[in-house]
Copies of this chain bind each other. A is one copy, B any other.
Amino acid sequence: MPMTLSAARAHSQNVFSGRHVHLEIDDDQRGAPSLALYLRQLHPSSTRQHFGRNEVMFQEGDRAERVYRVISGTVRLCRHAANGTRHIADFVLPGELIGFDERTTHPFTAEAVTPVTLLSYARSSFDRLVASTPAVRAHLVSLLTANLRAAEQQAFVLGAHTAKQRVASFLLRLAGREDAMAGERLDVPMSRNDIADYLGMTIETVCRALAALRDENIVTVPNSHQFILNDVAALRAIAVDA
Binding site for B on A (CB under 8 A): 79, 81-83, 85-87, 89, 101-103, 107, 137, 141-142, 144-145, 147-149, 151-152, 154-156, 158-161, 198-200, 240-241
Contacts and interface: CB of A to CB of B under 8 A. Distances in A.
Contacts of A107: 149, 152
Contact of A101 (B89, B145, B155, B199): B145
A149 to B, nearest CB: 7
A154 B147 CA distance: 14
A102 B141 contact: yes
Contact of A151 (B81, B152, B199, B240): B152
A198 B145 CA distance: 21
Given A144-B144, A145-B144, A148-B144, A156 B240 contact: no
Most chain B CB within a 10 A radius of its CB, from A83, A103, A149, A156: A156
27 contacts: A79-B156, A81-B160, A81-B161, A81-B241, A82-B241, A86-B160, A87-B159, A89-B155, A89-B156, A102-B141, A102-B142, A102-B145, A103-B145, A103-B149, A141-B141, A144-B144, A144-B148, A147-B148, A148-B148, A151-B151, A151-B154, A151-B155, A154-B155, A155-B155, A158-B159, A159-B199, A160-B200
Given A145-B144, A160-B200, A152 B89 contact: yes
Most chain B CB within a 10 A radius of its CB, from A102, A149, A152, A158: A152
Nearest to A154: B155
A142 B241 CA distance: 30
B101 A148 contact: yes
